[in-house]
Amino acid sequence: MSSLMEYKGYHAKIEFDNYDKIFVGTVIGLNDVLAFHGKTVDELEKSFRNCIDDYIDFCEEIDKKPEKECEVIDEKLIEREEQLWKHINDSLNEAKAGIGRDADEVIAELEREFAV
């Protein structure tokens, strides 16, 4: 069984550990690792809220901006876009230099490498 929870804009994936008979949650979309657990749904919800509140408080204590999942995703998309444009530029420079690659070959390679 797997499900999602949300609190203060943070999302967590929830699974049931059948061996230990507890719910285990992991906050998704962050570079930081946040995990929590509970024996009941109420305990799990409270643990999730405490996990997020503690994370925000800790970040404040160490003068760090707490991550938000959309910021992490945005950074990854920007990095991917930069890689794509570099690859396009390199391919165009190769074509200008007479390497012999035609446009269809370059487009096919880009589609394979950067397929979403």
What is the CA angle 61-63-65, rounded to 5? Answer: 110
41 burial type by CB count under 10 A (0-12 exposed, 13-18 middle, 19+ buried):
exposed
> pLDDT digits over 1-29, tens only?
447 888 998 989 999 888 999 999 999 88
In angstroms, the CA 113 to CA 95 distance is 18
Tell me what the mean pLDDT of segment 19-48 comes to.
93
Range from 23-27, 61-65, 68-72, 104-108 carrying the lowest mean pLDDT: 68-72
Q: How would you label 16-34 residue by residue, b for 16+ Cβ within 10 Å and e otherwise?
A: eeeeeeebbbbbebbeeeb
Measured distance CA(23)–CA(68) in Å, rounded: 23
Q: Is 13 helix (H, G, I), strand (E, B) or coil?
A: strand
pLDDT at 24 (0 to 100): 94
**Residue-level pLDDT at 75:** 58
Q: Give the number of other Cβ atoms within 10 Å of residue 52's Cβ.
A: 21
Give this prediction's pTM: 0.59
Task: Give the model confidence (pLDDT) of 77-113 as tens digits.
Answer: 556 666 776 776 676 666 666 655 566 676 677 677 7
Confidence at residue 106, expressed as pLDDT on a 0 to 100 scale: 67
Domain boundaries, the chain: 2-61, 69-113
